[in-house]
Amino acid sequence: MPTNTPSIHFGLLAAPTLTHFRESLSLANTLSRTVEECQRSGCRFPHTLLVGPSDSGKRSLVSTIAAELAVPVIAVDATIIGSSDDLHAAFRRALDGSIVVISGMEGALPAMLRDIARAAARNRLSGTGGARPTFPGTPGNWGTPNFKGMAGIPGFPGIGGFSTDEPDPRARASRRYEDFTIILTSRSPIPVDSGHCNWIERTFYLTRTQASEAVRLERVLQRAGLNIDAAGAASLGRCVSDFGLRTLTCASLVAEWMRSNGLTTVTHDVIEPEISRILECSIDPVRAAEIFRQQATELTAGREESVSAVDPQPNQLTSNRQGIA
């Protein structure tokens, strides 16, 4: 009998521990050693850059790291940050040892990178209680051409600036952020040897493959109370990777199908014939057509190579016939 749609949400993507993170065993082992060292020494987790394509599990990996360390996470979306005061609003809430994850850094302007670098050095970006600084022609928005003029304005010691509500600059300098960790996520590499990024202590790359998607889908469904065998998860992982589906979208559709059919466990031979119908509504038809054409071309080329390897060449036929005669 059909039941209510299961709750498939972002939190299910995160592995409960690094032991459960099976997308990359080498990365899991490296992070485990780093976490153990932090716990032994009492130091914060290193400032880190995570690079990988969309939906490769960067933010969910941060959640796993935070769970291992038992520290809170403050999430910041770089695409909606408009000024240093916006960053300051997040940084001032971070506790000692906690993690601030800033996602969407692939489109970050140099000004934002410079402000984050200052925060990584625990230098505050704004005074408390002050109004957002106003620059010529704009209320301090990074997206305007006038932003570069900040550095030359009295009262603003550099790009990112301070608000001027405190007359004594020594009072501003005496207050520092807590010693928290900053983790950046980006779809493309950031040159960490530049002046704005030399504070980054670790860089890790995540991939999105059929194997990694199979692992993630199997974990999400298990955490939702559903089970799928490895072969069935591999078939779903191949579809997610080939057609560019989001992991949670696929997991939600599969969970809905299982629940509607009264299933809590499914095997490859049961789900394989149903995959196209389960995912049909979420597959881009243009991309699907292109993939099918490519697969047909590769199949035809493979058959031609097979035939040419088996059939003898014309000169071989002539030679054989002369030998027989």
Model confidence over 176-234: pLDDT tens digits?
999 999 999 999 998 877 778 899 999 999 999 999 999 999 999 999 999 999 999 99
- pLDDT above 90: residue 317: no
Least confident residue range of 51-55, 61-65, 135-139, 295-299: 135-139
- State pLDDT tens for residues 280-293: 888 888 877 777 67
Nearest to 44 by CA among 179, 200, 183: 179
Q: Please give the pLDDT value at position 244.
A: 86
Mean pLDDT for the stretch of residues 79-91: 91
Instruction: Read off the pLDDT band of 169 (50, 70, 90).
Output: very low
**Maximum alpha-carbon separation in the chain:** 110
Q: Does pLDDT of 301 surpass 50?
A: yes
| Domains of the chain, CATH where assigned | 25-205 (3.40.50.300), 210-310 (1.10.8)
Range 306-315 average pLDDT: 57
Structure pTM? 0.75
Weakest mean pLDDT among 2-6, 40-44, 286-290? 2-6
Q: Which position has the token pair 């692939």?
A: 106
Predicted pLDDT at 254: 96
Dihedral through CA 43, CA 47, CA 48, CA 49, nearest 10?
Answer: 180
Per the structure block, which two tokens stand in for 69? Answer: 């360390």
More confident site: 107 or 317: 107
* pLDDT reported for residue 193: 73
- If we measure between CA atoms, which residue out of 35, 18, 175 comes closest to residue 97? 35
Q: At residue 18, does pLDDT exceed 80? A: yes
CA-based R_g, the chain, Å: 27
What is the structure's pLDDT at 284? Answer: 83
pLDDT at residue 160 tops 80: no
Confidence of residue 295 (pLDDT cuts 50, 70, 90): low
Share of the chain above pLDDT 70, in %: 74
pLDDT at 145 over 90: no
The per-residue pLDDT for 28 is 97
pLDDT of residue 305: 66
Whether pLDDT at 141 is above 80: no
Rounded to an integer, the average pLDDT of 269-287 is: 88
* Cα 152 versus chain centre, distance: 37
For 258-261, the CB contacts below 8 A with 24+ separation are 258/226, 259/2, 259/3, 259/4, 259/5, 259/6, 259/226, 260/2, 260/3
Q: Would you place residue 143 in the very low, low, confident or very high pLDDT band (cuts 50, 70, 90)? A: very low
